[in-house]
Chains A and B, each alone.
Chain A
């Protein structure tokens, strides 16, 4: 049972990196590739249908952590208090940028929320590198550590590459590249590598700190039957918004 829940946890965390990775990547590229307002609208419209379905993977990670690794949850989050707070604020700003950017028309308004998306994506990407490094050292190193910052830069670059590939897949040619679904899967795996590396290293430790069988059983009975629905909903998103002749519709809600 511990093994099943470790697998669930690993899939959720790696899935978050592979999926939310391209949302953040596109956010990072917004000031780079989105020189005109129209280009920025296209970039955001390309990721918009996926964002809500992608970011919840992290919510699920946190929920699983609370349910399956209750002793670690507080340790990890409280141990990295300033970093987690900063990342949460970045996440909030990124989301607010998406929801608000098209609600008013003014130049300044759009500029403000587009900047919030780019800044939030950057903060979150770098933050993830620092978090992974801190976790790999068993939270011994201080949250802000040169090696952590380096890893943050690596994660940021990986996300940007993944976001760029996504744009090439969903809007072929519009941003100078055309990419296949296979290439997107490859950069997704690449974006998830840092998280997968940490999970592999932490596996024995996590297995040893699982919640007792009674709790895991309740979680299994309640969650596992719903898992096919969760997978089905995600598949539905990918089928509905796959690239095609009018893949990106403008105006998009985000």
Chain B
């Protein structure tokens, strides 16, 4: 592989790893916020238990989301300095907004939520998780604004060999953005829902004592997954109205094939979720024969999400910015194959290992169930015996 292929592989690997965690964050954040709201309103131990259990899974997943995101952000400057040289005046604005406004607040409020347990007043603590959710979505929005500009450079003109921002509104109403953003949000909700379903099905299958806890979580998961896949599919098809000409043509099988798989399997999953799981929502917790199937379905949303990004990003090739700047021209000058090989091994090795460790930890948390949770521990009410069944 030459430098360009290595740098592209590096971005693809870190980007894919990042999105595996982000997609679940986007789905779990509002669910945990809703659980926390119910706990704040009712004050009942079962609601507290749900908030802490799913909250701990959410923040554990978030950890790798952060570190992969850090590597992503710095890679723009490390490997693709041609992008900031040519279009930094335009592309930099949404990216600065994402980091300055959205992620800055998201991380601050997340710290307050995790460590403010039992310290912050009840409603202020609840406000934190909603602010985390809001800023996470704002973060996703600005990243999609930046990405959509690469797909369709609206709101900018080229002068003196550089791109110049002329209309910020056009960045926000980009035809590559308006349907893609809700599509991504839908995928997040679908993923979050399916993780609730899979994990709950596992606990019920193992005849865990907290039957009611996981029956409730399973139903929440099915409802969320149904809303999620409905949005994902609707806005997925809507995107075809605004797709660049020739993006998925026969000349670009590496983009067209993932797209085809995503659509085929997405439709199949939508049928299963909307026409089988949703009508059965009341009996699924007791229908033991369905549980192994539900468990086996858990990884599918993640696979589909990656296929979707492959279609969108490989479809953009050879352009970094559609019909303006090629990926080859955006590569930082002076990079050698040795440098990028070393960093690729470093990033892929470290982040890949952390991702595996993180998934093992999450699986272990699910296997242990809502007992001896770290999140919210030491907040002063540990003397109370954990509610096991209700």
Tell me whether A and B are bound partners: yes
Residue of B nearest to A221 (CB): B168
Given A250-B378, A251-B374: A89 touches B350 (CB 8 Å cut-off):
yes
Which residues of chain A are within 8 angstroms of B261 by Cβ–Cβ distance?
none
Instruction: Answer whether residue A60 sits at the interface, using C-beta atoms and an 8 A cutoff.
Output: yes
CA gap between A192 and B367 in the complex, in Å: 46
Residue in B107, B120, B339, B375 whose Cβ sees the most chain A Cβ within 10 Å: B107
- Interface segment out of the listed B85-93, B219-227, B278-286, B290-298: B85-93
Which residues of chain B are within 8 angstroms of A214 by Cβ–Cβ distance?
89, 164-166
| A81 and B374 contact, CB distance less than 8 A | no
| B339 and A237 contact, CB distance less than 8 A | no
Which residues of chain B are within 8 angstroms of A76 by Cβ–Cβ distance?
77
Which residues of chain B are within 8 angstroms of A240 by Cβ–Cβ distance?
112, 115-116, 119-120
CA gap between A67 and B63 in the complex, in Å: 26
| B81 and A62 contact, CB distance less than 8 A | no
Given A52-B111, A59-B104, A77-B81: A253 touches B375 (CB 8 Å cut-off):
yes
CA gap between A150 and B153 in the complex, in Å: 46
Chain A's interface size range is: 35 or more
| A64 and B96 contact, CB distance less than 8 A | yes
Residue of A nearest to B379 (CB): A249
| Interface 0/1 of B92-104, CB less than 8 Å to A | 1101111111011
| A92 and B70 contact, CB distance less than 8 A | yes
Judged by DSSP, the binding face of A is: helix
Residue of A nearest to B114 (CB): A253
- Interface segment out of the listed B187-195, B266-274, B306-314, B341-349: B341-349
| Interface 0/1 of B129-153, CB less than 8 Å to A | 0000000000000000000000000
CA gap between A82 and B336 in the complex, in Å: 11
Instruction: Answer whether residue A223 sits at the interface, using C-beta atoms and an 8 A cutoff.
Output: yes
Which residues of chain A are within 8 angstroms of B9 by Cβ–Cβ distance?
none
| B77 and A66 contact, CB distance less than 8 A | yes
Instruction: Answer whether residue B105 sits at the interface, using C-beta atoms and an 8 A cutoff.
Output: yes
Which residues of chain B are within 8 angstroms of A57 by Cβ–Cβ distance?
104
Which residues of chain B are within 8 angstroms of A223 by Cβ–Cβ distance?
96-97, 100-101
Judged by DSSP, the binding face of B is: helix
| A253 and B374 contact, CB distance less than 8 A | yes
Chain B's interface size range is: 35 or more
Instruction: Answer whether residue A241 sits at the interface, using C-beta atoms and an 8 A cutoff.
Output: yes
Instruction: Answer whether residue B110 sits at the interface, using C-beta atoms and an 8 A cutoff.
Output: yes
Instruction: Answer whether residue A88 sits at the interface, using C-beta atoms and an 8 A cutoff.
Output: yes
| B74 and A84 contact, CB distance less than 8 A | yes
Instruction: Answer whether residue B80 sits at the interface, using C-beta atoms and an 8 A cutoff.
Output: yes
| A63 and B343 contact, CB distance less than 8 A | no
Q: List which A53-84 residues lie within 8 A (CB) of chain B.
A: 53, 55-57, 59-60, 62-68, 70-71, 73-79, 81-82, 84
| B341 CB, min distance to chain A CBs, angstroms | 11
Given A53-B111, A233-B109, A251-B377: A218 touches B93 (CB 8 Å cut-off):
yes
| A66 and B165 contact, CB distance less than 8 A | no
Which of these, B59, B78, B104, B168, contacts A81 with CB under 8 Å? B78
Which residues of chain B are within 8 angstroms of A56 by Cβ–Cβ distance?
103-104, 107-108
| B111 and A49 contact, CB distance less than 8 A | yes
Residues of A within 8 A of B (CB): 48-53, 55-57, 59-60, 62-68, 70-71, 73-79, 81-82, 84-85, 88-89, 91-93, 95-96, 99-100, 102-104, 211-212, 214-215, 218-219, 222-223, 226, 229-230, 233-234, 236-237, 240-241, 249-253
Q: Given known contacts A56-B108, A76-B77, A82-B342, what 14 new A-B pairs fall within 8 Å (CB)?
A: A52-B107, A63-B96, A63-B100, A70-B84, A73-B77, A73-B88, A74-B81, A74-B88, A85-B342, A85-B346, A103-B374, A223-B96, A223-B101, A226-B101
